[in-house]
């Protein structure tokens, strides 16, 4: 697959590396989700995640661990951005706000996984390829849109109504971040009437090659 | 499926009461500001779902879909009136038209969903909105979008059909995007509830939109 064919080449550059030799299922799904987003666009992420989680059969803990991996990525990304993205003024305040929200998502997901009797996954190592504010913003937009699609894709697979409601309260915040970042990028805050668009049958067929 | 749901639900409820972070996370379910529903929800079998407030629009998922459809009709009508008011032009007008178009698409999708559930789509309510000046209109738009996002969040856990839930989630986050955009325009926090958005129950939402419905 050459760079020109990628809908989001910046996603293809993300490195997600486990600390130990033991690659968690969540990391595998996250890598697949990023690959689906890179090749087909972020609207493919939700359906990919939905199918991958259904196939991995990890129950609510599996879904929460996937969400935790995603929130680890976002937290690390925004924490790093504080000193690396060259953000000033309004954007700096936004980066600080989002970093704080994502950190709270990590804490809440970790605690909830433990309460459900599960083991929270370890934080993987990430490497974010950008050199300036514009590169940061582009990646931020893709992560936030990916986050929204991933939570929306996972939602119907969640068994516990309480976990579903709580995941809903997180995805709405991700959507709000996405809109604010998009405005910083001078892009439409809500590009489509549906997050993600609902032509799922086609989408599932397209992401099939990424599923083990 | 229903039995499995209620089992995991019971296990989950038995586990609650641990750390502060998890408590805060789950408080986002709205049990804290909706004292009446908590006890009822824990004992209610998952299958019966729905809240009594949405039952006036139909049973179960149909009631929820028609409740959402009623709200989307109001949002779409509001934006259409704002566009016609001549209060906005240029980039602002374009943004309002875009949001209005998206609400109209939600109306269409929910109408189809109601039909797919074998029901009759809710009728369009007759509505009137105060459109005195641009600032007041943006404020009202912000209120409506934040309320709309909270309304969807308040119903997510009541929806039984995975397909209806997937559609509702796809709309919910778009309402969140609209709300954040308008909050930004108004100089208000983009995430007014912090890291966890708060839901609103149907009774609260319907009471809030009542003043705009004229027939």
Per-residue model confidence as pLDDT tens digits over B54-69: 999 999 999 999 999 9
How confident is the model at residue A197, as a pLDDT? 53
Q: What is the largest CA-CA distance in chain A?
A: 45
Nearest by CB: A195 against B170, B181, B183: B170
Interchain CB contact of A199 with B (< 8 Å): no
State the CB neighbour count (10 A cutoff) for residue B134: 14
Query: Which of B29-38, B129-138, B149-158, B202-211 is least confident?
Result: B29-38
CB pair distance less than 8 Å for B149 and A172 = yes
Nearest C-alpha neighbor of B159 from the set A165, A71, A196? A165
Nearest by CB: B8 against A115, A159, A178: A159
Phi, psi of B29 (to 5 degrees): -70, -15
Query: Which of A25-34, A65-74, B177-186 is least confident?
Result: A25-34
Does residue A33 or residue B175 have the better pLDDT?
Answer: B175
* Burial (CB count <10 Å: 0-12, 13-18, 19+), residue A95: buried
The size of the A-B interface in CB pairs under 8 A is 206
CB B29 within 8 A of CB B199: yes
Give bridge partners of residue A37 from the DSSP assignment: none
Q: What is the mean pLDDT of chain A?
A: 83
What is the pLDDT averaged over residues A86-108?
Answer: 97
Q: How confident is the model at residue A4 (pLDDT cuts 50, 70, 90)?
A: very low
Nearest C-alpha neighbor of A197 from the set B23, B6, B167, B47? B167
**How confident is the model over A130-140, as pLDDT tens digits?**
999 999 999 99
For residue A16, the SS3 value is strand
How confident is the model at residue B153, as a pLDDT? 98
Nearest C-alpha neighbor of B107 from the set B95, B93, B121? B121
Cis peptide before B202 (omega within 30 of 0): no
Tokens of B6: 């209620």
Does residue A25 or residue A60 have the better pLDDT?
Answer: A60
Task: Enter the pTM of the model.
Answer: 0.81
Q: Three-class SS string for chain B?
A: CHHHHHHHHHHHHHHCCCCHHHHHHHHCCCHHHCHHHHHHHHHCCHHHCCCHHHHCCCCHHHHHHHHHHHHHHHHHHHHHHHHHHCCCCHHHHHHHHHHHHHHHHHHHHHHHHHHHCCCCCCCCCCECCCCCCHHHHHHHHHHHHHHHHHHHHHHHCCCCCHHHHHHHHHHHHHHHHHHHHHHHHCCCCCCCCCCCCCCCCHHHHHHHHHHHECC
For residue A139, the SS3 value is helix
How confident is the model at residue B69, as a pLDDT? 98
Nearest by CB: A194 against B152, B174, B180: B174
The residue of chain B with its CA nearest to that of A179 is: B177
CB pair distance less than 8 Å for A193 and B157 = no
For residue A188, the SS3 value is coil
What is the pLDDT averaged over residues B64-87?
Answer: 97
Eight-state DSSP code of residue A4: G
Query: Which of A21-30, A96-105, B3-12 is least confident?
Result: B3-12
Q: What is the dihedral of CA A165, A170, A176, A182, to 10 degrees?
A: -130
State yes or no: pLDDT of B209 exceeds 80: yes
The residue of chain A with its CA nearest to that of B169 is: A152
How confident is the model at residue A38, as a pLDDT? 73
State yes or no: pLDDT of B47 exceeds 60: no
State yes or no: pLDDT of B189 exceeds 60: yes
Does residue B19 or residue B133 have the better pLDDT?
Answer: B133
Q: Identify the residue among B176, B189, B194 best suited for mutation to test binding to A, counting A beta carbons within 10 A and taking the highest.
A: B176
Tokens of B52: 């009594």
Q: What is the mean pLDDT of chain B?
A: 82
Tell me whether 0.90 is exceeded by the ipTM: no
The residue of chain A with its CA nearest to that of B152 is: A168
Nearest by CB: A160 against B12, B169, B183: B12
How confident is the model at residue A58, as a pLDDT? 78
Q: Identify the residue among B192, B195, B200 best suited for mutation to test binding to A, counting A beta carbons within 10 A and taking the highest.
A: B195
């Amino acid at each position: 697959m050459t760079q020109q064919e990628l809908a989001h080449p910046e996603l293809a550059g993300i490195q997600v590396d486990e600390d130990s030799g033991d690659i968690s299922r969540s990391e595998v799904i996250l890598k697949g989700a990023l690959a689906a987003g890179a090749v087909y666009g972020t609207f493919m992420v939700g359906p990919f995640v939905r199918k991958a989680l259904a196939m991995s059969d990890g129950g609510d803990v599996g879904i929460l661990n996937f969400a935790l991996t995603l929130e680890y990525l976002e937290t690390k990304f925004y924490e790093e951005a504080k000193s690396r993205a060259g953000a000033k003024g309004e954007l700096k305040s936004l980066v600080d706000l989002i970093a704080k929200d994502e950190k709270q998502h990590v804490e809440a997901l970790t605690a909830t996984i433990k309460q459900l009797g599960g083991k929270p996954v370890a934080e993987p190592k990430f490497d974010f390829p950008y050199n300036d504010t514009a590169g940061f913003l582009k990646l931020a937009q893709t992560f936030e849109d990916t986050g929204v699609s991933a939570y929306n894709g996972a939602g119907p697979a969640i068994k516990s109504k309480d976990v579903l409601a709580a995941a809903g309260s997180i995805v709405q915040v991700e959507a709000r971040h996405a809109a604010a970042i998009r405005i910083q990028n001078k892009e439409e805050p809500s590009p489509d009437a549906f997050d993600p668009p609902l032509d799922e049958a086609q989408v599932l067929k397209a992401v099939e090659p990424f599923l083990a | 499926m229903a039995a499995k749901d209620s089992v995991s639900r019971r296990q989950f409820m038995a586990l609650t009461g641990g750390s502060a972070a998890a408590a805060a996370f789950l408080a986002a379910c709205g049990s804290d500001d909706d004292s009446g529903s908590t006890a009822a929800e824990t004992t209610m079998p998952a299958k019966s779902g729905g809240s009594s407030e949405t039952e006036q629009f139909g049973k179960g998922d149909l009631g929820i879909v028609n409740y959402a459809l009623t709200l989307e009709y109001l949002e779409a009508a509001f934006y259409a009136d704002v566009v016609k008011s001549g209060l906005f032009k240029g980039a602002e007008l374009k943004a309002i038209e875009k949001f209005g178009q998206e609400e109209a698409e939600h109306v269409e999708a929910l109408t189809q969903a109601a039909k797919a559930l074998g029901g009759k789509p809710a009728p369009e309510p007759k509505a009137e909105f105060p459109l005195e000046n641009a600032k007041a209109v943006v404020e009202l738009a912000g209120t409506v979008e934040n309320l709309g996002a909270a309304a969807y969040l308040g119903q997510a856990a009541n929806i039984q059909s995975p397909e209806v839930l997937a559609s509702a989630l796809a709309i919910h986050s778009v309402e969140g995007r609209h709300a954040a955009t308008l909050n930004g325009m108004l100089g208000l926090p983009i995430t007014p509830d912090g890291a966890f958005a708060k839901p609103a129950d149907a009774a609260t939402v319907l009471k809030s939109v009542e003043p705009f419905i004229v027939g």
